[in-house]
Every structure is written in C-alpha cells, then in structure tokens.
Chains A and B, each alone.
Chain A
Amino acid sequence: MIKAENVVKKFEDFTALNGISCSIPSGCIYGMVGSNGAGKSTFLRLVTGIYRADGGTITIDGEPVYENPSAKGKIAFVPDELYFLPGATMDRMAKLYQAIYPDFDTARYNRLAEAFGLNRGKQVNTFSKGMRRQAATILAISCKPQYLFLDETFDGLDPVMRNLVKGLICQDVAERNATAIITSHSLRELEDTCDQLALLHKGGVILESDIGDLKTSLFKVQIAFREEYGISKFEGMPLLHFSKKGSVANMIARGDREALVAKLKAMNPLLLDVLPLTLEEVFTYEMEALGYAFHDVLEVES
C-alpha cells in the first residue's frame, strides 16, 4: 500500500505539491488525471524516491521510499521523458536493468520484446517515440515490480499497442497482485483500465474515488411534466445539477437510483428517462459540486 500524507514539494519559489494526501491500496490500478502542472509527474517522482519531499511523508508498505533500497526494489518507473544509455540497444538496456533490478525476468523480457516486434539489436534512440515507450514499458514490466508507475504511458502508442500494454498491466495486477499507478491527461484512457481515480489540480488531490462507485454514484435523469415546474418540485432529492429547456429538465442525481426513480414515477411525469454518465461527466458534475469549473480543470479529449 502506498500512503502519502500532507506531501509538499517545492522547486525554488514554485510549489508543485501542496499538502497532497492519498492512499493507494495494493493490487489495484490507480489512475491520476490532471492538467499540465497539476503535479502528477512530481507526485510519481516523489513516490518512486527520485525526489525528496519538502514536507509530509510517503511510504510504501509502511516503509519510507527516499534512499531506501528495500522499498525502491519493489518499484519500476516509466517516466514521461524516457532515458536510455547513449547508443544503447534494447539488449544493452536489459543488461542494465538486470544489474539494477534483482527481479528482472530475462525470459519475460525476451517474450515481450518478441511480442512487440521490436528490434533488440538496434539503438533505442533511433526508435520512434511510440517504440521507445514500448521498449521502456517492456523493460519496466520485465522487472516484475510490486509497484509499477507509468507516467503518460499511452502517449504516442497506437491503439493496438495501447491495448497490449493495458492487457499486460492488468495481467500483472491480476496474477501477481501488483499495483499500477498510471497518470494521464485523458480520462477515457484510464476509464476502462483503472480501479481508482484521483484528480489533481494545482498541487492537490481534488477527488479520489473507486471508479465503479464514481460511475454508479451519479446518474442523469431526463424528466418532463404537463404543468409548469421548477427545481423546487424536487426538493429533498439529492440533485447535483438541474437544467431545464422547455418542459424537459435534465438532472444529475446522486444516491440510490431505484429509490429516486420510484419517487419520480410517483410524480406522474410525461417523460422519465435515466441515463448512465461517462467518467468525464461524472468528474464535471463532481467538480461543480466542489466549486471547481470543469473546463478549468480538465483537458478532455474530444
């Protein structure tokens, strides 16, 4: 389990993380979203022991990470800016990983390199951006880490490779009870992979929740009545959002879906439709509820 409490990180005068707290349980895929400069990469570098926190604590399985080989031995990190030794081939990099990571699985590396169809004898720096990311991911996954940190991992990967990487991550989580922490700008990318999601903004966690709960906790209701009505008609109901065009009203509600529908049916509406929300919509309305304007916070892929 990864636990961060009131973590602060400053770069000279700039505060990148301002008292961030979260806990990531073992055996899950944890997604982090946020705009540029939200602090996602900084958080990952703190959790992987690259940076030292200026305040607060970060532990992995109860151990501090910074300068702790035992905790760092459980970690593999694929950063947003990849590093390969100058002029190194994949095999040379595999040797380096083998030297550094005690659990590096050469057989797995061979299998994955074969599966991804990468030329292991060619200099990695001559690879395309996507191929370099594939190479880095293969090397990291071959370390068989307990905690796998992936920063903007799907950036530059084609859809086939994305699915392959997602599949590998899911496989590790399922088979070895590993934990994967993935950051992305794209909610859609994480929607079908992650178990938990956290939204970071300006150095703080705004929202952290189980993805299933998030999706089911909110739902959209379209409703219409013969008579004129307003939001007061629904007083006492757990609404996050209400808008009306003509006689049709759109509402975002939270809580027990069946009970609410039963209540609404009892009001004899002309139209009653309950629709599921996308993750983006869930985040939008949750943010609204917290007082954040969604468009300021997220860069949603169209």
Chain B
Amino acid sequence: MMKNLRINKELYRDGLRQLKIVGIMGMVIYCLSAILTSVGIYINSSYYRQAEMMDYPGNMGIVMEIAPEGLPIYEFHWILFTAFPILVPVMTLILFNFLNQRNASDFYHAIPDTRGTLYVSYCAAILTWLFAIIGVSSILAIAGISLIPGYFVVWSTLPKSLFIIIATCILVMGGILIAKSLTGTFMSNLAVTLMVLFLPRVFITAVMAIASDMLGFVVWDFSNSLMNGRYNVLVGIILTIFGGSNPLGYWSSGLYTLVLGLIYLAIAYVLFVRRKSESAGHAAISNRLQMVFRLAVSLAVCLFPIYFIAYNGTHSYGWSDSDLFMIVVFYVVAVVVYFIYELITTGKLRQFKRMLKGLILLAVGNVLVLGILWGIYGSVVNFQPSAEEIDYIRMLSNDRNYFQSQTDEIKISDEKVAEVTAEALKRTILRRTHTGETEVVVDETYYSKYAQEEAQVRTVHKEVAINCGLKTVYRELIYTEEEWALVAKCLSEMEEYRQVYCTLPKVSEEGRIYSYHGWISNEQAIKVYEVMKDEVHEVDFAEWYMGVTDFYSRDYLDAICVYTEIPGTGNYRTVNLPILDSMVRTKECYLEQMGVEQISEEEKTQWEMIRSSIRGVDPEAGSDKNTEETQVNYNNINVDIRVLDETWEIVDEVYFNLEGYHDGKSWVVNRWGHLSDEEQEEKLLSLIDKLYAGEFGRAETAGEMLMITVRCSYELDGGNYVDMTNNFCVSLTAEVETEIEELFGYQLDSYLGH
C-alpha cells in the first residue's frame, strides 16, 4: 500500500485546476481582508495620533504618548481562522465530490493509476492552495501592519498561530476525508464528518464528567493529559465557550492536532483505497456501518440519561420525579435522533424493521456504558484499606505548587498518619457516596457516625496518594482539623519535609514577588519576603505547613506571593506564603512598609484632575446644564477602608463605590456602602483629598490603624484615561476616628473597644 504513496503530477495539476475557482476566490478574499484590516487599523491609529498632543481638562499641560502596540496575528489577520471551518471543507468537498456520484466515482476509479495516488495527489492539491492562500495573505497582512506607524507584529506568536491553524486545517481535512470514504451522500458526509471530528471527544469528556461526578473524591488530573479537551484545537475552541482554556496558546495543542490530523489522513487513505466505487450515492458503504453511525449519534444523546442513572444509582438521594422524567425524555430524544439520522442521511426510513432491531443494540450499548461506570465505581468505593494495609502515603497539593513538586514523592510511613488517613478515606467515601459534595446528610448510619462531627469540626480537604503494596490510588480526603494537625506534626518530624517547606524559593529575573492583597508595592513585598525567609525557620512547622497547604481557607493579615519556577519543570507558578500571626518580625516589617508609602507628585496631580472633573459636573442637573467640557464619560472611584485593631486583625471593612456615566440626559451617581446622600459623598471625597494631601499622619507599626485603598479609573474629556491605585496606612487618631465615624454612620468604639 505504501508504494502507492506518490503524487501523480498530472492528477495533482488537475486537482489544482479543479480548485481554481475556489482557490482564486479564497486568495482574493483572504488578501482583501488582510489589506482592509490593515487599512482599518491605520485609520484607527490616525485617530489616536491626532489625540497625541491633547490637553487634559483644566489645561494641566500633560502630554499622553502612545506607545507602539504589538499585534498578534489573530488581531490583524483574523480571517485565517476561517480556513479550517470554511476554506478547507469547501475545497475538500469539491475535489472529492466524485465519491458521492456513481458515474463520477466510476470515472475516477477507471483512470490508469492507483486509488492511493489519486488520494495523495488530490490532497496535495488542496494543501497547495491552502498554503498559498495562507502564505500570500499573511505576507500581505504582515507587510500592511509593518507600514503602519505605532504598530508592530508580535513575531513570537506568529509561527505558533500559523502552525496551529495549519494543523487544524489538516485535522478537518482528515475528518472530512474519513467521512467521505465511509459515506456517499452530502448529508451523510456532513453528519459523519461531525461525528469523526467531535464525537470521540464528546464521549471522552462526558464519561470523564460522569466519572468525576460519581466519584468526587478521586483525584482526576487531566490538566496535562491528552484527555484534556484543549489538546484538540477544534474541540478546544468550542470548549472555550464553556470556560475551557484557549488552545491557540499552546504549541502542544497544535502538535497534538497535527498528529491527530495526520492519523486521520492516514486512516482516510486506507479507507479511500478500500472503498468500493459502488458506495457512491449510498448513505454509508454498508448497512452495518450505517447502523453504527445511527447508534453512535443516539448513544451520544443517551449519555445524558446515563449520567442521571449513574449518579442517582450511586448516591442515596433516591429517584426524584424530575430525574425520572428527564431520563425518559432523553431516551425518547435518543430514539428520535436514531430515526432522524436515517431520515436525514438517506431521505427515507427504508429498513424500518431492521432499524427497530438496532434499538436493541442501543439498549445494550447503554447497559454496557453503565456497567463500565458502575464497575469503576464499585472498585473505587470498595477500596478502603485499614491502617495496617497502608504501606505509605504521599501528600499532594491541590494546586501543584512549588513545595508539592518537591514533596509529592516523599513517602510517609508513619502509623498515625496511616491511621487517620484510613479513617479519612472511610469518612470521605461514606460522605461522598451518600451526600455528594454539598447536600445535607440523609443517611442514618452516616449521621450517627460523622454528621455531628463534621457539623462541629472544621475539616481540611487534602489530596493524597495511598499505597498498599502494588496499588496506589489518588484521593481527595476529608481530614478533621485535628487529624490534619496530627499529620502536620508527623511531617514536622520529617527532616525532608522541614527542609523543603522552610526553604523559600529564590526568585529569578522571570519571577516576581508581590503582596496577596496588593496593599504594599512589589519592592516593599521583597523586603518583607527577606524577613520571612529568615523567620520561617523559627515558627512552628505544623502551623506553617498548614498555613501554606491550606492557604485559601484561612485568614491572614496578608501573604507574600512568589511567582517562581517549579523546580525541574520549567513552569512558573505562584506560591502563596501567609504572614502568620506568630511571624512577629515579618509582620512588623510588613506594617513598616505600609507606613512608608509615598504618594508621588504625579498621582497627586491626577487626583486633582479627577477632583476638578467631578466638581464640574452637577449630579442633579440634566445634560443641558452640563457643558461638553465638564461632562465625564465614565468614571469609577473605589475606596476600601479596613480597620485594624492593636493586634493588626481586621475588625471591620467597608467599600465605597462612586460610579458615574453620562447617558446623554443626566449625570448619575450610584452609591454603595453607607453613603446615602451627596453630603456624605462630599465627605468621602474630602477624605481622599486629605489622604492625597498627606494631612493624616502615617500609621505607627503598632496600634490601631486604617488601611485605605483608593482606586480611580477615569476617562476625562477628550478620551484620556487615568487609572491609579494607592494604599494609605493611617493612624487611627481621634481626628480620623471622628471623620470615619461620620462617614460610616456608626461608632468605631464598638469595634475597637475604646
């Protein structure tokens, strides 16, 4: 068969000739789009260039400079993304259309060359037009952007985007050719193409989702496995609608798609060579295959009722009427789809009796899928080893962070850990199988054993690997905090663990350090981090370990976020390091840093501009009373005020949001928080005035204080934007206290215990 993998130059040329009209039209449209997009960008850029030397309201004389803007290919040559859903299908359907017509099929099968050569030559013709259209139009687009001042092509994304587009085109072409080799009418071509391109992923994704829901405590990490939908660019693009990660950003997605596309082309080659000419005009090359197609489509619909049955069958909720109704409805839909597929692809229900028999196979398929799911479920749920049976466990981190990458291979053989883990596993299985993730307890056994315990005890959810000899399973277990503290204590006695968790990451040039809440600058965060690196050796390890590994469910003054490389992976992730209450020196340094923030002159000026803009607008007056010069198109001022007690615990916080826009009629002010009228609003603005003017004293490192964050996002007349954030750490003096109390509308004393 491989010897037929050659191109017949004459057939290739003929393929090019047959695609001439589509090819030339495609070339013209793609090139025109490339040119017009560049022209459009140029017109927009001219508009902004005119605004280059614009004064802010109030003649402040500040000049805005527009920095050169890099454009990725999907912005300046977006039409390339229509190549795989439009251009390739059209060309493939045209050139291989002979497979749908009996006389045409006979003609091509009579030519003095092998089918393999015909296939390869015509595929080459399609790819030639495709590359020509993509290549020429891309060159034009790049040239166009290069000529526009103020814009440049982001070269780094160019090869990746082009590679991904071409890989997807090949995948689509392969899918269509498989479908065309298996079917012989346009409608069946279409239906089977969609099946080939999407159905495998639909099944994988659905079964994964069902299994994940049935067994919520099993750790399914598909993020880097080929099971992740983003690897298939075509499916990935659709999954982005449902929140999936964008496949266009990954070389690996392009590579996977290309390999899959080449496999599809190879399968299509084999099918094409084996295809009988007499299949042209038939919905499928055999009755059996037609039945397979019908069953595949119907089975995809059946996944919905399978989900209901599998989930309800493995949880003790019982069957609600609505569930039963949904199951019946979906099965009816599946049967309707079964017949509709036949009707659409063949135009008739020719073999109705045989089709009815096929429904038995559909039922068998359902039972089979359910059987497999229940088999998996039973095997997972019944795996409940005793402490003695556990050889060791490994602690995994839910977010695969810096420390976990170094500790997930450390084996913990401690008997106490095994004991609490075995107990946690039993608890987790009982809880998840009876109540799912969130439902209340309904089972008596469960209630008597665990419900009250959980109602009173805080729990910690941890991912662990449990090893019992040859078998290792990965579970997300529910530990009580007491159990988890015991685990942490055991780990604190393990030097390997201590070393990893107490050696904080060094930060390279690519790395970054910043405050979790954003209350201090990055430079200040670095200073705090330096103290933390030293002090972490002095704090209780168990407390530190629990803080790091259970970061999100605890409250801290702040945390230092370190964006660093995960050792040995080349990947960068952020690790959150909490400032524990026991880290006295770190905490002190942190508050010192908060107290020394300086407001720049430029920021002060910007606030002045915003202030003058607000004053120029009468919130109550209609648009006719507000002149063009004074109207504000959009603004948003957020003020977050947090009150810290002597121990620097946040005892109160309140947020104010001033939002305005000009709707052509009136200036509207929306208030949130405790502002109730214009008077209060003016008080808040005065507070900000004083903050920027530096009228309040900076906070001391000890004692009560206010942490105030002011964020201004403002569009001034003429289209200029101001976007700034400032943090103020203010000592809670009597003056400030009075002012804040007036603003809040209640006594701070009640909180601070004055």
Contact = CB atoms under 8 A, between A and B. Distances in A.
B110 A99 contact: no
B101 interface: yes
A99 B112 contact: no
B104 A100 contact: no
Contact of B17 (A49, A52, A79, A95): A95
Contact of A82 (B103, B277, B287): B103
A116 interface: no
Residue among A45, A69, A100 with the most chain B CB within 10 A? A100
The B interface is mostly helix, strand or loop, or mixed, namely helix
B434 interface: no
B83 to A, nearest CB: 24
Contacts of B103: 79, 81-83
A50 B14 contact: no
A12 interface: yes
A209 to B, nearest CB: 28
A95 B15 CA distance: 12
A69 B114 contact: yes
A114 interface: no
Nearest to B10: A99
B290 to A, nearest CB: 11
Nearest to A50: B109
A145 to B, nearest CB: 9
Nearest to B109: A50
A72 B110 contact: yes
B91 to A, nearest CB: 15
Contacts of A50: 106, 109-110, 277
A12 B115 contact: no
A297 interface: no
Contact of B114 (A67, A81, A83, A85): A67
Interface residues of A, number: 28
B111 A51 contact: no
Given A51-B277, A99-B14, A83 B107 contact: yes
B113 A49 contact: no
Contacts of A67: 4, 114-115, 273
A45 B277 contact: yes
Contacts of A85: 18
A99 B11 contact: yes
Contacts of B462: none
B43 to A, nearest CB: 40
Interface in A87-104: 95-96, 98-102
B114 A45 contact: no
A77 B110 contact: yes
Contact of A69 (B10, B17, B112): B112
A48 interface: yes
A72 B107 CA distance: 12
B112 A101 contact: yes
B306 to A, nearest CB: 33
Given A51-B277, A83-B101, A12 B107 contact: no
B102 interface: yes
Given A50-B106, A82-B103, 6 more contacts: A12-B286, A12-B287, A69-B114, A72-B111, A77-B106, A81-B106
Interface of B: 4, 10-11, 13-14, 17-18, 98, 101-104, 106-107, 109-115, 117, 273, 276-278, 286-287
Interface of A: 11-12, 45, 48-52, 67, 69-70, 72-75, 77, 79, 81-83, 85, 95-96, 98-102
The 4 closest A-B pairs by CB, nearest first: A99-B10, A73-B112, A72-B112, A81-B103
